[in-house]
Amino acid sequence: MSNLQLFDDDKVSTLYFEEQARLKGFRSIAGIDEAGRGPLAGPVVAAAVILPLGFELLGLTDSKKLSEKQRDRFYPLICDQARAYGIGVATAAEIDQINILQATLLAMQRAISRLSQVPDHLLIDGITPLPLDISQQTLKKGDSRSLSVAAASVIAKVVRDRIMYSLDKQQPGYGFAKHKGYGTAQHRQAIADLKPGRHHRTSFAGVKEHLGA
């Protein structure tokens, strides 16, 4: 069962951090994660997920460790069973304006603001806290260590992939549907041949070298 899964480093339950927060009196615990920090194109997408007590979803873990088919199977199950979930997006233009870290934090804050329940504690993937007056804990590799964060990672990844499929239809030629905006050899060659499009991150190496005068 998912709530008995262990992560390798500490050999404890993937609901350990949620359980510890509840012991401190917190009752509305949101896992936060993002997808799309590294690509050369497209938005960064964040998700916030509040899971119910007793939540179980066998095999749920960091979205990067799951196949697209597995993520697509988990996505509706998480959405249906979660007490609340929210999605936040920061565009390529916002990334260029304020940098990828700040855009990621912005997307996370937007995801939290779209929760139908107000969280009283956050479990955030990574090492950077959010500038919010809410109790929070950052977790390195949190998407492998916390079930709530893992759920958020799947939501964020599926939503971002769907956005990239849509952008591929808007701007064919770059191959967004295949590489999701990451800097593959095919994508870099397309940027060189076609020049950057409106959804590229013009502040990123691999794109800015091909901007016009």
β-strands 84-90, 121-125: how paired?
Answer: unpaired
User: Please, which contacts does 106-112 make with residues 24 or more away whose CB atoms are closer than 8 Å?
Assistant: 107/34, 107/43, 107/44, 107/45, 107/46, 108/32, 108/34, 108/46, 108/48, 110/46, 110/86, 111/32, 111/46, 111/47, 111/48, 111/86, 111/87, 111/152, 112/30, 112/32, 112/48, 112/86, 112/88
Examine residue 155 and state whether it is found in any structural domain, yes or no: yes
- The predicted-structure confidence for 80-132, as pLDDT tens digits, reads as follows 999 999 999 999 999 999 999 999 999 999 999 999 999 999 999 999 999 99
Examine residue 173 and state whether it is found in any structural domain, yes or no: no
Examine residue 76 and state whether it is found in any structural domain, yes or no: yes
pLDDT for position 212: 78
Please count the CA atoms within 13 angstroms of the CA of 54 that sit on its side-chain side. Answer: 0
Query: Domain tally for the chain?
Result: 1
Structural domain span for residue 39: 2-162
Backbone angles phi, psi at 138, to 5 degrees: -90, 145
Examine residue 18 and state whether it is found in any structural domain, yes or no: yes
Cα 155 from Cα 31, distance rounded (Å): 11
CATH of the domain at 135: 3.30.420.10
Examine residue 89 and state whether it is found in any structural domain, yes or no: yes
Enumerate residue ranges in the chain where pLDDT < 70. Answer: 1-12, 213
- For residue 155, give the 3-state DSSP assignment: helix
H or E element in which residue 92 lies: helix 92-98
- For residue 204, give the 3-state DSSP assignment: coil
pLDDT for position 3: 40
pLDDT for position 13: 81
Examine residue 187 and state whether it is found in any structural domain, yes or no: no
Examine residue 73 and state whether it is found in any structural domain, yes or no: yes
CB of 137 closer than 8 Å to CB of 17? yes
The residue count for the chain = 213
pLDDT for position 213: 53
pLDDT for position 52: 96
Examine residue 181 and state whether it is found in any structural domain, yes or no: no
What pTM does this model have? 0.93
Q: For residue 10, what are its two tokens?
A: 């500490």
Cα 122 from Cα 107, distance rounded (Å): 15
β-strands 29-35, 121-125: how paired?
Answer: parallel
